[in-house]
Amino acid sequence: MWSAVQAGQRIHKYVLEQKLGEGGMAEVWRARHTELDKLVAIKRLSPRLSADPEFEQRFLMEGRRQARLRHPNIVPVIDCISEGSDKYLVMEYVEGESLEAALKLAGGPLPPQRAIYIAWEVAGALAHAHRQNLIHRDVKPANILLDREGRSYLADFGIALMLGDQRVTRGGVAVGTVHYMSP
C-alpha cells in the first residue's frame, strides 16, 4: 500500500482535492493551484518505485518529453515537483472523462461519427509526437481523455520511447497494456 496522501493535503503550491485514478506506477489527483485558483492534475510516482533510480528517471523523462509536446490534443505537463522522496508531474486538468469511462457509460460502441472524430484527433496527436521522434507505446481508452466540449486528449506518456535516447526498458521485457499491444 502506498504512503497516504489525502484530499486537502498541500503539495508545493497545490492542494489535492480528489483522487482521479491509480495504476501500478502512479496515482493521479485533481488539485488546485493555491495562488491562481486553477485546477490541475497531479501525477504522483508510486513511493515503492521512486526509490528505484530507473523508475525515477523514467518518470522525469515522461515529464520532459510530454512538456515539449505542443499540440491541442495532448495533455501538457506544466511542472515537476520533488518533495522528499515523492515525485510529481503537474498537468493541465481535462474536465470530462476518459474514453474508457465513456464506452462503459454508453454500454458499447460510440456513434460512428463520434468515434471517427476521436480517432482523428488522437491520430493528429500521435502524428505530432512521431514528428518529435516520440512513440507513445500505450494508446488505450484509459489514456484518451474527453472534455465537456467534445475534444479528445492523449495522456500518459509514461512508457513512451524517444527515438535515439538510451532505452530504460530491459531487453526481453514487454511494456504497455497487454490487451492493447500489437501482436
Catalytic annotation, residues: 138
Residue 158 has phi, psi (to 5 degrees) of: -60, -30
Closest CA to 168 of 68, 25, 21, 28: 25
> Strands, DSSP E only, in the chain?
10-11, 14-22, 26-33, 39-45, 77-83, 86-92, 96-98, 134-135, 144-147, 152-154, 161-162
How many of the other CB atoms lie within 10 Å of CB of 132?
13
Q: CA-CA-CA-CA torsion for 108, 110, 115, 121, nearest 10 degrees? A: -100
Q: Where would I find the H helices in 33-163?
A: 47-50, 53-68, 99-106, 112-131
Pairing of strands 134-135, 96-98: unpaired
